[in-house]
A and B are shown apart, each in its own frame.
Chain A
Amino acid sequence: MPDFTLWDILRNLALAARWTVALSLAAFLGSAVVGLGLLLVRLAGGPWLGRAVGAYVQLFQGTPLLMQLFLLYFGLAAVGFDTSAWLAACVALTLYASAYLTEIWRGCVAAIPRGQWEASASLALSFGQQFRHIILPQALRIAVAPTVGFLVQVVKGTALASVIGFVELTKAGGMIANVTYEPMLTYGCVALLYFVLCFPISLSARLLERKLAMRTPA
Chain B
Amino acid sequence: MSAAPNATPAGAGQPHTQVGAPILRITALRKSYGTHEVLRGIDLDVARGEVVAIIGKSGSGKSTLLRCINGLEVFQHGSLIVDGRHLLHDNPKAMRELRQGVGMIFQNFNLFPHLSVGRNVMLAPHLVKRRPGPENAARARQLLARVGLAEKFDAMPDKLSGGQQQRVAIARALAMDPAILLCDEITSALDPELVGEVLRVVESLAEEGMTLLMVTHEMSFARKVADRVIFMHQGLVHEIGPPAEIFSAPRSPELRQFLSSLQD
User: A residues touching B (Cβ–Cβ < 8 Å)?
Assistant: 113, 115-116, 118-127, 129, 133-134, 137-138, 215-218
Contact = CB atoms under 8 A, between A and B. Distances in A.
Contact of A217 (B99, B102, B110, B157): B157
B158 interface: yes
Contacts of A129: 127-128
B127 A115 contact: no
13 contacts: A115-B106, A118-B104, A118-B106, A118-B110, A119-B111, A119-B169, A120-B124, A124-B99, A124-B100, A124-B176, A126-B92, A134-B112, A215-B114
A125 B127 contact: yes
A118 B114 contact: no
Given A133-B123, A217-B156, A124 B106 contact: no
Interface residues of B, number: 30
Contacts of B70: 121-122
Nearest to A112: B113
Given A137-B114, A138-B114, A218 B127 contact: no
Contact of A122 (B103, B112, B127, B159): B103
Nearest to A217: B158
A123 B172 contact: yes
Interface string B243-258: 0000000000000000
B150 interface: no
A115 B108 contact: yes
Given A122-B104, A127-B92, A115 B110 contact: yes
Q: Which of B92, B96, B169, B173 has the most CB of A within 10 A?
A: B96
Given A129-B127, A217-B158, A124 B114 contact: no
Given A121-B71, A121-B72, A121-B99, 11 more contacts: A113-B110, A116-B110, A122-B103, A123-B99, A125-B96, A125-B124, A125-B127, A129-B127, A129-B128, A217-B113, A217-B158
